[in-house]
Structure 1
Amino acid sequence: MRVVKTLAALALLVALLAGVPAMLIAWGDPSALLRVDWRRALVQPASKELVVALCSVAGWLAWALLAVTAIVETVMAMSRGRVHIHLPGIGWLQPAVGGLVAMVMAPALSSTAAEPAPPAPAHAPAVVEHQISPTITAHPFVPPAGLRAYVVRPGDELWAVAEQELGSGGSWRTILRSNPGMTADTVLTPGNTILLPSTPPVQASAAPDSSGHVTVRRGDTLWDLAEQHLGDAHRWPELFQANRDQISDPDEIDIGWRLSIPGAADTTQPRDTGLGQGDKVSATPTPSAPPPVGGTNQPTTLAPTVSPTLPPDTTPRTSPLAIPVMTDATPRATNQPSNGATGNATPVTTTEDPQWSDDVLGPVGGVLAASLFAGVIARRRVQLLQRGVGRRAATLAPEIQRFFAALVQRSHVAPELQPNAQPTSVIIGWRDEEEVRIDLEPRRCTLVEGSPEDTAALAATIITSLMCAPWSSMAEVVTVEPQEEWVLALDDPRLSSEMHLEEALTRLQRLCAQRRMAMGRSNLASLRADPDVAGSWPPVVFVFCHGLLPAHVDHVRDCLSLGEVGVSVVAPLAHGTTSNGDPRAVHVLSTSVARLGGTDDTFEPQLLNQPARRAVVSLFTSSLDDRTEPAPWWRDGDLPPHVTVPPTTAEEPIKDDAMPAWSPLPDHPTLLVLGPVELRGCHGERPGRAVGQCMEYCAWLLLNPGATASTMVRELLVAEGTRRSNTSRLRSWLGRNTEGVSYLPDAYSGRITLDPSVSSDWEQFQLLLAGGVNVASSPLLREALSLVRGRPLEGVTFQWPWVAQWVSDMESMITDAAAVLADRCLTEQDLEGAHWAIDQGQLATGDDETLEIRRIHALALSGERAELDRAVMDMTRVARAENRDLAPETIQRIQHALHLSMTRHAHS
């Protein structure tokens, strides 16, 4: 049957491409047009010769269009999609002709795909998206050495494949390097095959020879070579500059190259490992185990290093107080540092990828990063307010947590906002550290010229800026044919989308015409100055996410030719289309160079590339997720038979002075995080600088005992030199115990671990309530809450970008503990104890709805009707101001409190 279809398609193509010209030559005569007297022909009925001649010309033009389309489809089919040709005017004909060409070429393509690919040279694996026919079994596709085949499944994207198969979504560039011809915007077709690294065990690079050169081995990157041979991975540009004769792209170095190491020939000293004073690593490199077959994204189990202090069969020793609140049912990988923030928090991954944040963020400025950060924080706040007692807001994926941490760090360099910025003003880049801004509304139509990937990245930058920047709060945005789910992720009424180009152009035309007619003799400025009608005239920006053809650009300009109606357009041009010298155009020449139309001055563009767009959408989507998960500090199931719970009531009221107070001068170093951050009990001298960073390192090491230096660099987003210096300062500040042992021992094994006696008030809080908040006795709850001095990590939350999830868990657990104790006190009519528990909880969380409703209950029991009404009114006003609804349980408890208050008032 397949042969019959192939022969029929071939016959039809031959008839169209060869038979039609033969018929036109035999029956047509275009030369008759040269003999026509056009003055008579235009006023008299057409003769037979004229009709035949005109039909012949039309036939030749149609045949030429058909032939060009067939050639284009043949080239695209033979290249298996690697070559994309876009010609105007043939789009309507391509589906039919493409189908015929595909039927004719199917046998040839299938036989080619069935033959083993020739071995590719080590420096250039050259296979991209091989089509695997389901009927071919005799000769399966054999990938080149060092690579493996992956069959694309429905819904796959570059980021998802990298996250699933390579362990990190930020490794998507590795897929591009393994598949020449693939770009970041390549659409993965289900059933096609792409090449992925086979991820053999990483081998250490050879040491520089006597001439100061090193030979590149599989898996090496400039970052890794700089870290190994120069002592600091951030010095990779020195390697790049020293080998410009070989390296044209710093992301691509070939196996077997001999690279010059700057300064290596002048010294024979071993490199600085960056593990602190006296730190050393074992001479034999410890390869990490390859990921399991099948590409599951599981934590990698590391082979333990051989060292005098860490036997090969043991895991790093952890502090006795750094215990999980509840036991996690999922087993951890060997030597996997645990996160002490929560019992089942995501473990710190050991995939060494120090450039992850830079690769994903790319050229994103501080203002845009700060705007994104503020938007996410506001949504996460609503998540915490709406969670139930004993539940925890859904945790972010590790990759998204790192992206969020990178946003926090980048937002620190944001300059002061301009007070006179217009709603449609966007930052599109920088020139000599100065922002390059354009105001979209006065420009009306802003054309963007460049590669499809770069224009899409700039369009995404404009969308996120208009939706998140504080000065753009009045702007409305319409995205046209977006690749990402912007509307679903941002959930903002100012944002809408059109999934079809023609419908978007119709909407643009209708909006401009309606506004022009509604304006009458008024102008836009006078209408916006009138407070009664200003709300009906917000700026509207249409952002097209795919390149427009010249005909579409002309349509857009026709719509905007009605004058200033408050509507503007950002329109990327189709690849190969030019702006024809439009002074309002933006020319993106590369990822690092752009210029504005009408000028030769260049600037560095601000681009939100595809991985960053995916991360932003995932971050905002997760911040709107109202699902919760069981809190690890809450006991839902039955207790073991040998465990008894002390009674929640006491015969005598518990007095505050019976509670042991937290020692202001502990015997060993103790980090206080349940309030303003302090490090007490140190036996060394307080450093003169970087005190806050030393406390940050101490907190991170308490949560991640046994971590490596490279993991610390990656998670804290600092340079290796900075990490080494601050670790040394922290070691000196902590000092030594009475036995002369350093509280921060030298990491001879490569693992950095604090002494078990170093602890924190958060660990003490967890220890007191380790069995579960809801089953802990009231005295333990009071003792735990007495440790709270204010908001967790007060004053440093925005300086420590990695603590978002930790702070969320601390606030949630403190709230639950306060709620449980308050409920018990209310049951016992102990109103003073209830108010104390609520006050302690609100020290950490502010006016939390979970605690405020219990205060309302306490006010109802005490009969203070005026205070009760004021508290209810304040709660509803706060909810309206935050644009959210009160939880159903909260509404029920408010109604119960009001009824209780009225009943007591009637009885009195």
Structure 2
Amino acid sequence: MAHRSPGPLRGIGVLLRALIGLAVLAALIAGVPYLLLIVGHQPTELSGGLDMLMRPDDDSLFLVVLTCLGWIGWAAFTLSVLVEATAVLRRRSAPRIKGLGGLQSLAGLLISGIVLLAPTAASAATAPAHAATATQTAAGTTPSSTASTSPASPGGETDWPRHTVTSPREELWDLAEEYLGSGPRWKDIAALNPEFPELASGDAKLHPGMVLKLPADARQAEPASSPAPDATRSTTTAPEETPSPETQAHTGEAARSSADESAHAGAPDDSENDAERPPSVTVHDGDSLWSIAGQHGDPAEWPALYKANQDQLTDPDLIYPGQQLDLPQAHTPRKGPADPPDTGKTPPRGERKQDATPPDQDHHEGQDGGQQEAPPATTAPAPSPSHTAEPSPAPSRTRDATPAPSPTAQDTSPDQAEAHQSSEESQQTLAPAAVWAGAGILAAALVSTLATRRVLQQRRRRPGRRIPMPQGSAASTEQSLRAVQHPTGFDLLDTALRTLALRLAAQSRDLPVLTAVVLHETRIELHLAEETAPCAPFTTTADRQDVWTCTASSSGLASPEDLQAADAPYPALVTLGWDPQGRLVLVDLEHVGVLNLAGDEHLARHVLQAIAVELATTSLPGHLEVTALGTTVPGLDAAAPERVARTDDLADATAHLAAHTADQRRALAALGAHSLGDARLRDDAGGSWTSHIILAQALPEDADETAVAALFNALTMRPRTAGAVITAAPAGTPLPADTWTLTCQGPDETIVLPGSGLSVHLQGLSDEHFADAIELLTIAGSDTDVPAPAWTRTADNEDLGGMPAEYAELEQDNLDKEPPNEAATGESPVPAPRETESQEPEPAGLSLADVLAEDDDPDDGRTAKPTPAPDPAGIPRIIAPQPCATPAPAVHATIPAPEPEATTPEPGTATGPAVQLLGPISIEGATGRVDSNRRRTGTELAAFLALNPGVDHHAIDEALWPGQIVNKTMRNSVISRLRSWLSTDDDGKAHFPRVQDTGDHRYRLGPHVTCDWTQFQQHARKGLHNTTEDGDLALCQALALVRGRPFTAIDPQRYAWAEPAIQEMVSAIVDVAYELSTRRREANDVPGALWAARQGLLAAEENELLHRALFLAHHAACDIDALRKAAAHLARVNEQLGGGVDMDAETAELLRNLLPRTVVRAR
């Protein structure tokens, strides 16, 4: 602890300061005017009027002007003294006068020194006793009464109390109030944590996992049983924990250090000698009744301290340095975890801003005008804990309720030490958890896989149900993935390499051997093993023939039609990391052969996990086989079974790889190709060159050297085939001579790639994020569906999951069949499985050609036998209506968008801007002005607020800039531009109110701003539960709002928050379109049925439920030509979906019954 001057010396220093202040103040107030009158030149000395300005100056004018400036300065200082003195006498904060800040500070300093005269003189006699009291307190403090044991040395790195951030909603201000008793002391915490420079701004977001050092005087956190700090606020009037900025100015308060000021006053002396008189304490700079009471027991006992000193205190908010305060005789010791303080006595924490910015911040956008922010409003379905198991070891997600004790007081068991070590190691992941830095291609591959799987889920989903979406940590991870994905560069890489394959094949050249690929923003670089002349679309320089470059604007890139004839020439390209400039670096695993990840075991596992997830999800190769050995990348084989298999037997993996390589070597010999690169460019190569990758985090301990050598020999034999082994083999494992060994040292370390010599930061995937990736893939691949959200339900059918009336009876039957302990109580952890339409499953995998190629029975010249009408439960039954005598003309009806009834206007239809989300995103009707290059972020903010009204600035930051450090200026500029763009209503009220004007200090759009999705929900809810013409009209009104797929034409890296909303919109549109099409067809309104199905297909072109509704409508109109065209269109859509998917069995069977087929007659 820093040395403090004894009490007598401090008293003398305060007295000397007061006397000097009095002398300086008297000199400035009285001495300056005296000097100006005696020495200065007054304006009365001038003569000659304006003529004096026309003749040479004899210095008299200059001296007069100088004297006048002196008078002005004296007057300004005197005014400042009067203002400060008045504030002290009234015990109020002095108003800040613009332009006089420096003079007011000087006046406040001098006046505060004079104020110290009286209390210093009164306390001179008791100063020695106070010094003894302070000494006893320092020696008698016990660890149980503080947040943690006091540090042994001020600079001890490991001796500071610590706090682990567990929620993104935590703020420095809250932590300062919780541990230090004063919100403005957030600066002390920021100063102790220079490794987090963003904390200096005051409003930086705290990311879960951050470990913050706390000042030495941090008190123990309240027990879990006490009310949460933000849950309730005490209403008892109490002093502020520190003086306001204005009070600090006139008292001359200085920032106290966290260690030096933590024990300036001692605990009460309980000895018998002092029993007759309460101990006393001297007030120092920065003290408050709250902090003094906390130093001597419980800060909640400040009222007793105030009551004991009412003879010299009239305002508990105003105390002065040097005052001698008596401590209550019977003080209460500080309460520990088992004895929580009485929250009814806790003083309010002061009016603070949600931004947690310093108190002197400006009152601009993004602030709450000094008002306390209300609890956040519910904006979306609350994330629930994931049920997916995480691989071990997994980082701890449990927040420590109290600061970590000092090493001397900590009782650490081996298990606890290991868990703590695992947690620290997880924070050293090579890919930062908060932003997935450098994971652009991995993110793009994973997001693309999720998109394809969710399209297929939408095809399988039952009407009135929803596809499952991730919650909690997995949902946050997906949002981070969408924010950092690099789809543009990924597409350029794929196009350039396929074009290269076409050009090389045309010139009868081999594929060059790649040692690395560097992905720039608008170009890619191929680093070759040997210098080779370039081939279009790549170019090179004369001095670097081993580096080929292709730009995004290259005219040599092949067209999409030509690329369909080219396979991926390097299917085993995978991202290793990024270079010092942040550019992604990839390597060809087929060229590497054996990749060994040495160094730190945990970091090597993270690198292997990142490679595995990218291999399992990338669309670059088209097809890839991956085998995980033992416990390597647990769960990936179940999450991506189409590519990843698992085996626990090294011999089995070796045999599989040996058979794979032997088969490819025989194929090379039969083809006459001398290398794999030559064979891949042959026209008859087909799919013979599938790459096979083995992932072996650790080779089995019982495996002998012969078995390990057999694995590597199967891969390295010449000629090389399409395969690779990635392992983290321990030291001493016999590896091939040409093995690439990369040493994993840390997230800030770089390694040098063999061959290219590039410096690379290795990309890794922490255990937590790997578990999230597995959960995302598993949920997106699920065949189940879940109940619809609450907005689809009415009071009569809330227990039916939002099902339309037609489905209510069937859904109730399904619920009755489920076990009562799960379905009936709603406690099932797994969504209900999809019900089948019949007892015998229909054969799947039929194409349009299969359907059209089938012939009728020769004995029956008519169409298929009629079957029952469509089942209202969802998937239509097979229908074959009576054949048409003559083909009817094609029906191409378009129903105009219906208008709401004039007598019953819908809510929110007043004139104002409209946020359009059901199609290309736009804001219509905004009368303000905004630069065209500023619209993108403003539009996203408007869309976010339209779907999430009543959010705070943290939610906005996380949505628009996920994982980034956002300052007030960045956020406020976007908010201000959007407010100007939306303009005001007829009454002059802003369509985007200021946060101070919203009542609850939350961000939301004005009542006259409409959103097509909100209107859609209103119409859909009304129509789905009303089967009359009014209900059909409401469904028409809802579908008339659909202009395309929701959130069309957005930047892939923007709107990362919108995926759950997009899936909900697609599901709702499909349900409404199918319901209305079915109703109109059954009412013999064929044009209406066609229009409804087509409107739904605008949002979900791949949805076969709507295609079946369209087929039935065309058949009802006897328009066979249109039916054939619609069937052919669906076939094309299926071919382009995820590399090609099969038509559903229901759709194939329906077409088989609807389409007339050629009858083969016997001759």
TM-score, scaled to structure 1: 0.60
Structure 1 residues 865 and 772: alpha-carbon distance in aligned structure 2, compared to 1, 3 A threshold: closer
Structure 1 residues 690 and 346: alpha-carbon distance in aligned structure 2, compared to 1, 3 A threshold: farther
Q: Higher Cα Rg: structure 1 or 2?
A: 2
1:339 counterpart = 2:379: yes
CA–CA separation in structure 2 for the residues paired with 1:205 and 1:895: 76
CA–CA separation in structure 2 for the residues paired with 1:706 and 1:688: 27
Give the aligned partner of residue 1048 of structure 2: 794
The structural deviation recorded for 1:480 is 1.7
Give the aligned partner of residue 409 of structure 2: none
Say which of 899, 914, 918 aligns to 1:659.
899
1:685 counterpart = 2:644: no
Give the aligned partner of residue 689 of structure 2: 537
Say which of 725, 749, 764 aligns to 1:593.
749
Give the aligned partner of residue 768 of structure 2: 611
Kindly provide the amino acid, as one letter, of the partner of residue 717 in structure 2: L
Answer yes or no: is the 8 Å Cα contact 1:423–1:539 preserved in 2.
yes
The range that moved more, 700-709 or 555-564, is 555-564
1:566 counterpart = 2:722: yes
Give the aligned partner of residue 214 of structure 1: 188
Answer yes or no: is the 8 Å Cα contact 2:590–2:721 preserved in 1.
no
Aligned pairs for 1:449-488 (under 5 A) are: 449-481=598-630, 482-488=632-638
The structural deviation recorded for 1:442 is 2.3
SS of match in other structure, 1:449: strand
Encode CA deviations 1:683-722: one digit per residue, 9 max, x unaligned: 4323453212111111111222221111221233252343
Kindly provide the amino acid, as one letter, of the partner of residue 477 in structure 1: V
Aligned pairs for 1:132-171 (under 5 A) are: none
Give the aligned partner of residue 594 of structure 2: 445
The structural deviation recorded for 1:335 is 4.6
CA–CA separation in structure 2 for the residues paired with 1:207 and 1:581: 62
CA–CA separation in structure 2 for the residues paired with 1:413 and 1:658: 39
Answer yes or no: is the 8 Å Cα contact 1:586–1:595 preserved in 2.
yes
Encode CA deviations 1:448-473: one digit per residue, 9 max, x unaligned: 21211111122222223333334332
Kindly provide the amino acid, as one letter, of the partner of residue 736 in structure 1: T
Structure 1 residues 538 and 784: alpha-carbon distance in aligned structure 2, compared to 1, 3 A threshold: closer
The structural deviation recorded for 1:557 is 3.5
1:631 counterpart = 2:797: no
Answer yes or no: is the 8 Å Cα contact 2:596–2:741 preserved in 1.
yes
CA–CA separation in structure 1 for the residues paired with 2:711 and 2:570: 23
Give the aligned partner of residue 775 of structure 1: 1026
Aligned pairs for 1:102-113 (under 5 A) are: none
Give the aligned partner of residue 1078 of structure 2: 823
Encode CA deviations 1:460-498: one digit per residue, 9 max, x unaligned: 222233333343324422222223211211232x33222
CA–CA separation in structure 2 for the residues paired with 1:884 and 1:803: 26
Give the aligned partner of residue 54 of structure 2: none
Structure 1 residues 258 and 474: alpha-carbon distance in aligned structure 2, compared to 1, 3 A threshold: farther
1:584 counterpart = 2:732: no
CA–CA separation in structure 1 for the residues paired with 2:579 and 2:741: 17
1:417 counterpart = 2:493: yes
Say which of 1104, 1110, 1122 aligns to 1:867.
1122
Structure 1 residues 590 and 688: alpha-carbon distance in aligned structure 2, compared to 1, 3 A threshold: same
Encode CA deviations 1:145-171: one digit per residue, 9 max, x unaligned: 9999xxxxxxxxxxxxx9xxx679x99
Give the aligned partner of residue 201 of structure 2: 230
Encode CA deviations 1:606-650: one digit per residue, 9 max, x unaligned: 11221221111111111111211222355599569xxxx999xxx
Kindly provide the amino acid, as one letter, of the partner of residue 254 in structure 1: K
Answer yes or no: is the 8 Å Cα contact 2:1134–2:1141 preserved in 1.
yes
CA–CA separation in structure 2 for the residues paired with 1:511 and 1:754: 61
Answer yes or no: is the 8 Å Cα contact 1:670–1:680 preserved in 2.
yes
CA–CA separation in structure 2 for the residues paired with 1:397 and 1:636: 25
The range that moved more, 819-828 or 409-418, is 409-418
CA–CA separation in structure 2 for the residues paired with 1:834 and 1:864: 14
Give the aligned partner of residue 440 of structure 2: 366
CA–CA separation in structure 2 for the residues paired with 1:252 and 1:801: 27
CA–CA separation in structure 2 for the residues paired with 1:608 and 1:124: 38
Answer yes or no: is the 8 Å Cα contact 2:792–2:1021 preserved in 1.
no
Give the aligned partner of residue 452 of structure 2: 378
Identity of aligned residues (%): 22
Answer yes or no: is the 8 Å Cα contact 1:122–1:255 preserved in 2.
no
Answer yes or no: is the 8 Å Cα contact 1:676–1:791 preserved in 2.
yes
Kindly provide the amino acid, as one letter, of the partner of residue 487 in structure 1: D
Answer yes or no: is the 8 Å Cα contact 1:394–1:627 preserved in 2.
yes
Structure 1 residues 474 and 790: alpha-carbon distance in aligned structure 2, compared to 1, 3 A threshold: closer
The structural deviation recorded for 1:750 is 4.5
1:407 counterpart = 2:481: yes
CA–CA separation in structure 2 for the residues paired with 1:596 and 1:654: 63
Aligned pairs for 1:220-369 (under 5 A) are: 226-227=198-199, 229-233=200-204, 251-256=210-215, 335-339=375-379, 359-369=433-443
The structural deviation recorded for 1:829 is 0.9
Give the aligned partner of residue 28 of structure 1: none
The structural deviation recorded for 1:853 is 0.9
CA–CA separation in structure 2 for the residues paired with 1:491 and 1:804: 24
Higher RCO structure, 1 or 2 (CA under 8 Å, sep 6+): 1
1:766 counterpart = 2:1017: yes
Say which of 747, 751, 757 aligns to 2:1002.
751
Encode CA deviations 1:11-57: one digit per residue, 9 max, x unaligned: xxxxxxxxxxxxxxxxxxxxxxxxxxxxxxxxxxxxxxxxxxxxxxx
Give the aligned partner of residue 578 of structure 2: 430
CA–CA separation in structure 1 for the residues paired with 2:636 and 2:744: 23
Kindly provide the amino acid, as one letter, of the partner of residue 795 in structure 1: A
TM-score, scaled to structure 2: 0.47
The structural deviation recorded for 1:852 is 1.5
Structure 1 residues 614 and 536: alpha-carbon distance in aligned structure 2, compared to 1, 3 A threshold: same
The structural deviation recorded for 1:561 is 4.2
SS of match in other structure, 1:585: strand
The structural deviation recorded for 1:826 is 0.7
Structure 1 residues 414 and 208: alpha-carbon distance in aligned structure 2, compared to 1, 3 A threshold: farther
CA–CA separation in structure 2 for the residues paired with 1:500 and 1:438: 28
The structural deviation recorded for 1:508 is 3.5
Say which of 676, 679, 695 aligns to 2:920.
676
Structure 1 residues 867 and 451: alpha-carbon distance in aligned structure 2, compared to 1, 3 A threshold: same
Structure 1 unaligned blocks of 5 or more: 1-116, 126-143, 149-161, 172-198, 237-249, 260-264, 270-283, 285-292, 294-303, 311-333, 648-652, 904-908
SS of match in other structure, 1:699: helix
Answer yes or no: is the 8 Å Cα contact 1:486–1:617 preserved in 2.
yes
The structural deviation recorded for 1:441 is 1.5
Kindly provide the amino acid, as one letter, of the partner of residue 579 in structure 2: R
SS of match in other structure, 1:382: helix
Kindly provide the amino acid, as one letter, of the partner of residue 688 in structure 2: S
Encode CA deviations 1:394-422: one digit per residue, 9 max, x unaligned: 12214322222211211148634262362
CA–CA separation in structure 2 for the residues paired with 1:878 and 1:658: 30
Kindly provide the amino acid, as one letter, of the partner of residue 558 in structure 1: N
CA–CA separation in structure 1 for the residues paired with 2:586 and 2:1147: 46
Answer yes or no: is the 8 Å Cα contact 1:543–1:569 preserved in 2.
yes
Structure 2 unaligned blocks of 5 or more: 1-142, 152-159, 219-244, 250-289, 291-336, 338-347, 355-373, 387-397, 400-426, 498-568, 799-803, 807-892
Give the aligned partner of residue 467 of structure 2: 393
Answer yes or no: is the 8 Å Cα contact 2:609–2:770 preserved in 1.
yes
Encode CA deviations 1:159-194: one digit per residue, 9 max, x unaligned: xxx9xxx679x99xxxxxxxxxxxxxxxxxxxxxxx
Structure 1 residues 688 and 497: alpha-carbon distance in aligned structure 2, compared to 1, 3 A threshold: same
Kindly provide the amino acid, as one letter, of the partner of residue 768 in structure 2: P
